[in-house]
Amino acid sequence: MASLVSSFLASFLASSCPLCDRTGHPFCPDCERQLKRCQLAQPLAHWRGPVPQLSWGRYQGQLKQAIRHLKYHHQPQVAQPLGHWLGQVWLGHQSRLRLGQSPVVVPIPLHPARQAERGYNQAQLLAEAFCRTTRLPLAPGLQRVENTVAQYSLSAAERQQNLASAFAPNPAWTNRRSQTVLLLDDIYTTGATVNSAAIALNRQGIRVVGVLTVARAIQPKGGDTG
Ligand SMILES: [Zn+2]
């Protein structure tokens, strides 16, 4: 109930910036300028390998703050502009990706217990905004079957282990024959989360053709760790 009330208040106060409370929608001009500074100049730099990946921006500065507000400060309205911007990048680059058939978009699910605590799944909200912009279909392709410990405290190897059996295809998603999937999440760090989700879908013969995230953490030593 508390989350419903605060969602209502959030929409009622939608003309104030969710990051700093100054006037502006969806962000005030200052926050928007700082957010746009995080945008990646080459979003296709990591579109390669078995699970190619595309992000809108770097996980730093104001974009990091925005995602924290979305996940931990109960600001679900932050998902709309971020998902829309990711959608614009997708529309600007999709013709170069040669995906063949049109994929469906599957958000990375939260465990039901964590979703109940937060009141929403931020990846679902981002995917809804992304799909409104791109007109791609959204599918509830996955369920989270294990409530894993928070990833940020773990090493890359520990993350993969932590998530090894965290996901399963959603039995409620019946229209999945011969579908190709784009996974969508808020942040790409080591890739452990999306790799685990892709493995769960691959076991059912569902092909993941790419991973989309709003932000990508830049690894300190250059190269990827997963
Ligand atoms: Zn602001």
The domain ranges of the chain are 41-216
Between CA 192 and CA 167 the distance in angstroms is 12
Domain 41-216 class, CATH top level: alpha beta
Span from the CA of 8 to the centroid of ligand 1 (angstroms) = 20
User: In the prediction, which pLDDT does 15 show?
Assistant: 84
Give me the residues paired with residue 167 across strands.
Answer: 144
What's the pLDDT score for residue 222? 43
Ligand 1 centroid from CA 24, angstroms: 7
| Region at 224 (left for phi over 0; alpha for psi -120 to 50; beta for the rest) | beta
Classify 172 as helix, strand or coil: coil
Instruction: Give the number of other CB atoms < 10 A from CB of residue 58.
Output: 16
Three-class SS of residue 186? strand
pLDDT at 165: 79
Query: What distance in angstroms lies between residue 210's CA and the mean position of ligand 1's atoms?
Result: 32
129 CA distance to ligand 1 centroid (A)? 20
How is residue 183 written in tokens? Answer: 């996974």
Question: Cβ(150)–Cβ(22) under 8 Å?
Answer: no
CA of 25 from ligand 1 middle (Å) equals 9
| pLDDT confidence of residue 156 | 74
Give residue 34 CA to ligand 1 midpoint distance, Å. 9
Under 8 Å between Cβ of 173 and 205: no
Q: Supply the pLDDT for residue 171.
A: 86
Centroid of ligand 1 to alpha carbon of 52 (angstroms): 33
Q: Which stretches in the chain have pLDDT values below 70?
A: 1-14, 148-152, 160-162, 164, 175-177, 219-226
Ligand 1 centroid distance, CA of 65 (Å): 11
What is the distance in A from the centroid of ligand 1 to the CA of 23?
Answer: 7
Distance 131 CA to ligand 1 centre (A): 25
Beta strand 167-169 with 142-144: parallel, antiparallel or unpaired? antiparallel
Distance 26 CA to ligand 1 centre (A): 9
CA pair distance 75, 97, nearest whole angstrom: 33
Ligand 1 center from residue 64 Cα (angstroms)? 14
DSSP string, 36-81: HTTB-S-TTTT--SSS-EEEEEESSHHHHHHHHHHHHS--GGGHHH
Up-side HSE of residue 38: CA atoms within 13 Å toward CB? 25
Total Cβ atoms within 10 A of residue 97: 15
Please tell me what DSSP assigns to residue 94. Answer: G
User: CA-CA distance, 58 to 54, in Å (whole number)?
Assistant: 11
**48-61: pLDDT as tens digits:** 988 899 999 999 99
CA of 77 to the centre of ligand 1 (A): 13
